[in-house]
Structure 1
C-alpha cells in the first residue's frame, strides 16, 4: 500500500510502499477514501523536520534534557546510537480521514466491514489501522470529503466545549486558518455570536460569509470594534486557534475578553505572558487537548474502554459524531473550505501547494485502493543466496533498530538478514532499507512460511512473545526471543511443549550473561567453591504514564525487565533459586509495581537480592552488581568498570553482552557450539520472575515440571521453599 512519510532528520517527503497494517482486537482496518492535510499542524511538523539539528534542539529543549540525562546514566555511546536511530526514522503524516471498513477486531463494537467511517489518529495511507473508538460511522448524506474533516473538526469542537458558553453568548476566534474556520462554523451552529479575527483579509471575509463578524487585526481599533459589538463588555470567551511562536495572540485575547471570561488555547502559540492582564480581570486560561476526553488515554484508544456517557458526555468519538450529525442536518457546511484535492500518488504536490499557496486552506488526498485484505510482500532489494543460516525478524521498534540490529550485524549476521515484518509495516520497511534486509513480509505468517528464513528473531511487544515462539517453533524454525519468554505459567507451559515437540533451538535474550565483564567474573568465581552472596542494585528511572510498560497486557517491569537481573544472579550462582520472595512499595496496580526488592535463595546456600528502584537520582548509574564469596569480592559498575578483590581489571570490554549472545546463537545454530544449560537457565529465570510477581500479588504461581537442571521439587513458588 502507499503511505506518506517524512524523514525526521532531513525533512524529505516521499510516498512509499509498505505492507497493509494488521489491526488488533480493538482496532479496525480502513481503506481510505479521503484524508485531510491539517495546514497548521503538518506545516509545523515539516518545518521542524527540515530544520538543522541545532534548530531542532532549540525547538525541543525538553528532548535535549532527556538525551543528556540518558547519557549520564546509560552512557554516551548507547545514547548516541538511540538518537541516531530516532533521527533516521521515517515519520507518518496525517491524522484526519475517512474510508471504508475492511475488517474489524473482535472488540471493536458497532463497526462492521463495508461501513463508511471517519477516522482519527491515522496517517495518510491507503489503509489505516484505527482504534475502534476513533472510527466513527458516517451518515449516508455526508460525503467522504466532509467526513475527512472529522478529527480536525473535533479539535475545534473540544475548544468550544472548554469555553462553556451558552446559547446567545459571544465568542471571538483568534486565528482563522482551517481549525479557526471550523470553530467559527461550529460556534454559529451552536447559537453563539461569533467574531473571527485574523491578520489576513481573505480569511476574515471567509468567516464573515458564514454569518460571523470577520475582523482584520488592527490593535486598539479592533478592540474598540469588539467593545461596540458586545455592548462594551467584551466577549464571553476567546478561542485561540492561531499557530505561531509569538505570545501576542494570547496577550491580545486578554484585551477583548470580558471580566472573568475564559481564554481557550487550541493552537500552538507562545505563552510568555504578563500576569497582570489576567489577574486584573480574573481570566480563566484553559487548554483544549486534541479531539476530547479519551485522547492519549491508553485504556480508551488501545483497549477500547469507553467512558460512561453519564460521567463524560463528550468524548473524542462523540465529538466526531456531533460534527458528522451537524453536517448531515445541514447546519454546518465544509465543502467550500476544500481548496485542493490530489491523488495520493501526487502527495508531494499537495505539500508543495500547502507551503507555497497562501490561500491553501483544506487540502485533501484521494484514494481508490480496494476495500479488501491484501498480503503484499515488499521487496527492498534482490535477495542474495547464502549457505549460512538466514534470519527473519518480527518487530522493528526502537530497541530493534537502535540496539539489536547493530549488535546482530556485529555478531556475523550482516549478510544473512532475509526478511522482516512489523504490525504497521512502515517501521519494518525503514529497518529493511537501512540494514540491507531483502524482504518486508506483510504478516508473521508470511514470514514463517518462507524457505529462506531459518532463524526467527522475535522483537515484538511482550504479550506476543510466547505465542510467536510457539508459532515459529512449529514452523520448523530456530527461535531467538527477547525477554521475557512468557508472561504467565500457562504461556511458559505452551512454549515448553512446543520446544519439546520440535527440533529447533530456542534462545532467550538474557544478554547480560554474555557480557565480557560477567564472563571474567564467572571465571574468577569458578576458582573457588561454596555459596556466594549477590547484591544487585538497579536505578531504573521513572517512565511516563504513556509508556507501554504501564499497559497491564505487557506484564509490567518485573516480568519485562527485572527478569534480566534475576537471570544474571542465578547465572553467577550456577543454580536456579529454590525460594523467591518479593516486596513492593505498595504503589500502583499489584503485579505492575515498579519499586521492588526480590530475594532469591538457592539450594547451595547462596542468596541474591535484587533492588529495583525508579526513584533514584537520574545521575546515578543504572546498575551496580556486587558478589561476595568463594574468597572473592567482585564489583561490576554499570558494565563499564570491573573490580575484583579491590583492584580494577583493565582491558575488559564494557557492554551488556548483546553482540556476544547473538554470536553464541549463530555458533549454536551452525553446530559450532553447545547450548547445554542455557535454555534451562532461561526457563528457570522465567519461573522466578513469575514467582516474584505472584509474591507481590499474593497469588501463588503453580509450576509445571519443566526441563531444568533442578528436580521439580526445587521449582519456584512465591515465597515458599518447596
Structure 2
C-alpha cells in the first residue's frame, strides 16, 4: 500500500510539473484546454465555459485530444462555439465533446454529421486510415473540408481523394501546420529568390509508441505517415518558395529491423544538389512532447529553429534572433484555413506522394530508391482519368 501511495504521489508530481512547463510554453488558456482534453471531468469542463455561441456550421469527425484541445481551442478562440455536429466511435469522447461545445447529442454516424443541413465545414481528426474516406464523403456533399495529417495512407486513397477534390465544388485543406508557423513565415523572405541548393536538417525527438499503439496497425501507414510526413511536407513547402527539383535520390537507415519507422534517418538529395535530412528518434519519452531542431542553409542564409520557440538567422555579418511565445508550430493558422486563403493544395499532393513513396520503402525494407515528382504525379493523374484508382503503392518505391 505504501509503495502504491508513493507511486501515486510521484505521478501527481510529474503531472503538476508537466502542467507548469506547459504554462511556460503555451500560456494559461492553451494549457488549460490541454488539461481539460485529457481529463474531461465535469468540474474541469465547467471551469473552461464553452464561450459565446456563433453560427453553428462545423462538424467535428473524431473527438479525441487533438480535436478537443487544439482544433476546438482555436475555433473557439476565433469564433466562439461554432460546432453543430460531432462524431466519434468512442462514445465517451463524443459525449464529452458534445457536452462542452453545446451540441445536443453526438451524431450516430459520421455520415449523419457530414450531411446535416446546418453543416458547411467538416473537420476530420479521426484515425489516419479513415481520413480519406471521410474527406471524400464530405467533398461529395459539397462541404469545405479540413483533414488532419496524413491526408492519405496509401496511393489508392490518394487517388480517391485527388479525384474527389477535382470533381467537387467543396474546398479541401490539410492539417500540415509547420508551413504556417511563425518561424517559417519569418524565414521565408530570407530564402526566396535563392537559385542554389538548399540544405535542410530536421531532428525530431518523438513520442515512444508501444507495440499496441494504434499507429502500429498495418492499415494506419506507419510513423512515416503518422509523423514524418510533417517534415517531408515542410521540405516541399520550403523548396517551392523557389523551384522544386523533380528528381531525388532517397536513402534510409534504421536502427531496428523490427521497427523500421522508429529511430530512422531519411536522406534526400536532388538533381540540383539539395540535401534534406530527417531523423526521427523515439528512444525515450520527451517530457514536454515532440521536440524539434531544424537547421537551414540556403545561399547566404543560415538559420536554426529551436522547437519553434526560438529562431536565429545569420546572413553574412548580420544576425537576428526571433522568439515565439506561446510556442508556435502553426496550428492556429493551419486550422483556420477554411476561413481565409490557405496554402496551395498542390504542395500537399506532392509531399503526400513523396511520403507514400518512403512509406512503401519502409514497408519493403528498401534502403535506396529514386523518386520523381513528375512521374509520381503522372501516375496519379492516369489513375484518376482511368477511374480505377489502381495505382500500386509498391510501384512508387522505384
Please say whether Structure 1 and Structure 2 have the same fold, judged by a TM-score greater than 0.5: yes
- Paired residues of 2:144 and 2:338 also in contact (CA < 8 A): no
The answer to whether structure 1 residue 659 and structure 2 residue 328 are counterparts is: no
Which residue in the other structure is 1:364 paired with?
none
Residue by residue over 1:426-483, the C-alpha shift from the partner in whole angstroms, topping out at 9 and shown as x without a partner, is 3122112223345521111111221111111111011111111111111221111100
Report deviation, 1:602.
4.0
2:287 aligned with 1:614? no
- Superposed CA deviations along residues 174-223 of structure 1, whole A, max 9, x for unmatched, are xxxxxxxxxxxxxxxxxxxxxxxxxxxxxxxxxxxxxxxxxxxxxxxxxx
Q: Are the equivalent residues in 2 in contact too, given 1:516–1:654 (CA < 8 A)?
A: no
TM-score of the two chains, using structure 2 as the length reference: 0.78
* 1:64 Cα offset (Å): 4.5
**1:502-533 CA distance string (max 9 Å, x none):** 11111110011101111001122125442211
Q: Which residue of 2 aligns with 1:565?
A: 231
CA contact (8 A) 1:507 1:679 kept: yes
Q: Which residues of structure 1 form unaligned runs of 5+?
A: 1-54, 91-380, 668-672, 708-715
Deviation at 1:658, TM superposition (A): 0.9
The RMSD of aligned alpha carbons is: 3.5
**What's the secondary structure of 2:256's corresponding residue?**
coil
Distance in structure 2 (CA, Å) of the matches to 1:403 and 1:392: 15
For 1:59 and 1:458, how far apart are their aligned partners in 2?
A: 36
| 1:407 alignment partner, one of 74, 83, 87 | 74
Alignment of 1:649 with 2:347, yes or no, is: no
Contact 1:539 1:623 in 2 (8 A): yes
1:532 aligns with 2:198: yes
Report deviation, 1:679: 0.9
CA separation of 1:578/1:89 partners in 2, compared to 1, >3 Å: closer, same or farther? Answer: farther
Give the direction of change, closer, same or farther, for the CA distance of 1:718–1:499 in structure 2 (3 Å limit): closer
Unaligned runs of 5+ in 2: 43-49, 382-393
Q: Which residue of 2 aligns with 1:59?
A: 8
Kindly indicate whether the alpha-carbon contact (under 8 Å) linking 1:537 and 1:611 is maintained by their aligned counterparts in 2: yes
Equivalent-residue separation in structure 2 for 1:611 and 1:74 (angstroms): 28
- Per the alignment, do residues 602 and 87 of structure 1 end up closer, same or farther by CA in structure 2, a change over 3 Å counting? same
1:679 equivalenced with 2:345 (yes/no): yes
The match for 2:100 is 434
Aligned with 2:153 (options 468, 471, 487): 487
2:143 aligned partner:
477
In structure 2, what is the Cα distance between the partners aligned to 1:462 and 1:82? 21
In structure 2, the partner of 1:323 is none
| Aligned residue runs from structure 1 range 492-531, under 5 A | 492-526=158-192, 528-531=194-197
1:86 is aligned to 2:35? no
Q: Distance in 1 between matches of 2:24 and 2:396?
A: 35
Count of paired positions: 357
Partner of 1:554: 220
Find out whether 1:596 has 2:269 as its counterpart.
no
Displacement after TM superposition at 1:569 (Å): 1.6
Q: CA deviation at 1:617?
A: 7.9
Q: Secondary structure at the match of 1:440?
A: coil
Could you tell me how far 1:425 is from its partner in structure 2? 2.9
| Equivalent position of 2:126 in the other structure | 460
Q: What's the secondary structure of 2:237's corresponding residue? A: helix
Structure having the larger proportion of residues in helix: 2
Higher relative contact order (CA 8 A, sep 6+): 2
* Structure 1 residue 572, shift from structure 2 partner: 1.3
Matches within 5 A, 1:442-453: 442-453=108-119
> Match for residue 179 of structure 1?
none
TM-score (normalised: structure 1): 0.45
8 Å CA contact 1:580, 1:719 repeated in 2: no
After TM superposition, list the pairs within 5 Å mapping 1:33-182 onto structure 2: 59=8, 61-62=10-11, 64-65=13-14, 68=17, 76-77=25-26, 81-89=33-41
**1:390 matched residue in structure 2:** 57
Cα drift, residue 546 of structure 1: 3.3
Superposition deviation, residue 413 in structure 1: 3.9
